[in-house]
Homo-oligomer: A and B are copies of this chain.
């Protein structure tokens, strides 16, 4: 089970889909060019293939364990993590003033995909740390930033997000963890947090827990939550570590997948915590981490999908079984020649590349949204916010399909754990759940991203899709299928949007009954749109005389996507506009 970073596709996407010129015209990125990006990602890809990817199977087999409050990582993780930190890989997209490399977010997203394609369990520690870094950068005090950011950014320390409690999963308003003010300005944090990814381990010297808790007299529900920084080891002003804080790992979960990633139950017993920002604004600050983490979870889905595709492709090229159905040969052939195996592999590829195209484009808008000098900042920010739940949901839900097809291509061999295909299914299964389930993403898309501006951003998205569809229409007959597919799917999106905006006020239950279908429709369309843009870019390069086979492949993949996947948008439209009543029917046996 080897893994090669899909550099050709990643670099093509960065060049053509990520608003690269605008992004690199930002002052902080001036001077960074495509060849720098290629050099960094090639080197990182090599590190991941050689050092991280081989840990994946043994990490799964051995799993993380807890022995007397100490978490033992599977063999090899400590060494690989130390190398990851030493080579500076953790700092890729973080600001140079705190020790980061200062590369654009689109490059960071590419690295996240490569790392998680190598091993999701390994990738989760930096993923959560990135979220903590974002939260501190935006909401931390000067002292907090000075004390905690540099070691987090270089990767010597790691970060966690502590939201969930047994009674508070999707519903954070039910959080019970308490934070009582101490005389010195710190707080005493007490409570139980569950499902804390990398909540305890010894890969890093220290762990910075960001914890949602309730101060005395705070309002009920989600409006009474504050965010606290609770270090595992107390940190002196000079950055040196002091005594152990009163946060303990009670146990770790026995999970379906990502078994090398320790998922902790943490017990806080008057642990010393420091308020981030102001009281009762915790959820708002937490959303900064959550949004970055949601985007990254979508990217994890692309990583695990790519790995499943590579593995299935290799198997299908090597496995010889049955004669071709066209009867042209009397001898058995590699199964990749069988039409249905091609169908499965192309479905895997189109979903993976569609997700990647969408994520890279979104990363570009995320970069632009952080550019306070640009007049487009607001528009880019709204588009990024509109697309983040789609990246999360589309790439995570589709990774279930891709990794399951990966098993199917292997036949019986796929069901045997040694092959590794089944592990990818198990690993992927968490993606539509953590950092907000698919239903939570759907509420976010419909309830916040669409309704708050009465569908304006959604309409702007739609016009951009239609523009691409029109360009494809003009691009010649080779694009006819993609142009038609996009136009039809755009109609389905518009009809659903209109229906939802009309329905949501008079009958919110009926609208929300279609929220997940709408999210899946939007994500499907958005990915297809980006593949359409990629096909146009490929055609332009062909016309410039570039003869790389990659370009025709890109166009063929986009066509497959249109003919096999975009068409599902109309089915979702029917579910939304004609299916709500059969979900709300009081005669239903639920």
Of residues 502 through 519 on chain A, the ones whose CB sits less than 8 Å from some CB of chain B are 508-510, 512-513, 515-516
Q: A549 to B516, alpha carbons, bound, how many Å?
A: 29
Q: A426 to B418, alpha carbons, bound, how many Å?
A: 15
Q: Mark A548-590, 1 if CB is under 8 A from B, else 0.
A: 0110110111011011100110110011001110111101111
Whether B567 and A582, one on each chain, are in contact in the complex, defined by CB atoms closer than 8 angstroms, is: no
- Nearest-CB residue, chain B, relative to A320: B167
Q: A282 to B280, alpha carbons, bound, how many Å?
A: 74
- Nearest-CB residue, chain B, relative to A256: B422
Q: Which of B255, B341, B516, B553 contacts A587 (CB 8 A)?
A: B553
Give every chain B residue within 8 A of A395 (Cβ-Cβ). none
Q: Which of B174, B512, B589 contacts A340 (CB 8 A)?
A: B512
Whether B508 and A326, one on each chain, are in contact in the complex, defined by CB atoms closer than 8 angstroms, is: yes
Give every chain B residue within 8 A of A327 (Cβ-Cβ). 508
A80 CB-CB contact with B under 8 Å: no
- Nearest-CB residue, chain B, relative to A588: B556
- Nearest-CB residue, chain B, relative to A9: B589
Whether A417 and B256, one on each chain, are in contact in the complex, defined by CB atoms closer than 8 angstroms, is: yes
Q: Which of B339, B425, B438 contacts A408 (CB 8 A)?
A: B438
Q: A559 to B586, alpha carbons, bound, how many Å?
A: 13
Q: Which of B313, B415, B481, B552 contacts A582 (CB 8 A)?
A: B481
Q: Taking A255-B416, A408-B438, A415-B255 as contacts, is the C-beta distance between A556 and B571 under 8 angstroms? A: no
Whether A429 and B437, one on each chain, are in contact in the complex, defined by CB atoms closer than 8 angstroms, is: no
Whether A508 and B322, one on each chain, are in contact in the complex, defined by CB atoms closer than 8 angstroms, is: no
Give every chain B residue within 8 A of A341 (Cβ-Cβ). 439
Give the one of A338, A407, A412, A426 with max B CB within 10 A.
A412
Q: A259 to B334, alpha carbons, bound, how many Å?
A: 30
Whether A587 and B552, one on each chain, are in contact in the complex, defined by CB atoms closer than 8 angstroms, is: yes
Q: Mark A490-530, 1 if CB is under 8 A from B, else 0.
A: 00000000000000000011101101100000000000000
Whether A437 and B408, one on each chain, are in contact in the complex, defined by CB atoms closer than 8 angstroms, is: yes
Give every chain B residue within 8 A of A164 (Cβ-Cβ). 412
Give every chain B residue within 8 A of A173 (Cβ-Cβ). 322, 332
- Nearest-CB residue, chain B, relative to A258: B415
Whether A509 and B418, one on each chain, are in contact in the complex, defined by CB atoms closer than 8 angstroms, is: no
Whether B513 and A589, one on each chain, are in contact in the complex, defined by CB atoms closer than 8 angstroms, is: no
Whether B567 and A574, one on each chain, are in contact in the complex, defined by CB atoms closer than 8 angstroms, is: yes
Q: A439 to B173, alpha carbons, bound, how many Å?
A: 48
Distance (whole angstroms) from the CB of A133 to the closest CB of chain B: 24
A95 CB-CB contact with B under 8 Å: no
**A residues bordering B, Cβ < 8 Å?**
164, 167-171, 173-174, 194-195, 253-257, 313, 316, 320-322, 324-327, 332, 336, 338-343, 345-346, 349, 400, 404, 407-408, 411-412, 414-418, 422, 425-426, 429-430, 432-434, 437-439, 442-443, 481, 508-510, 512-513, 515-516, 549-550, 552-553, 555-557, 559-560, 562-564, 567-568, 570-571, 574-575, 578-580, 582-585, 587-590
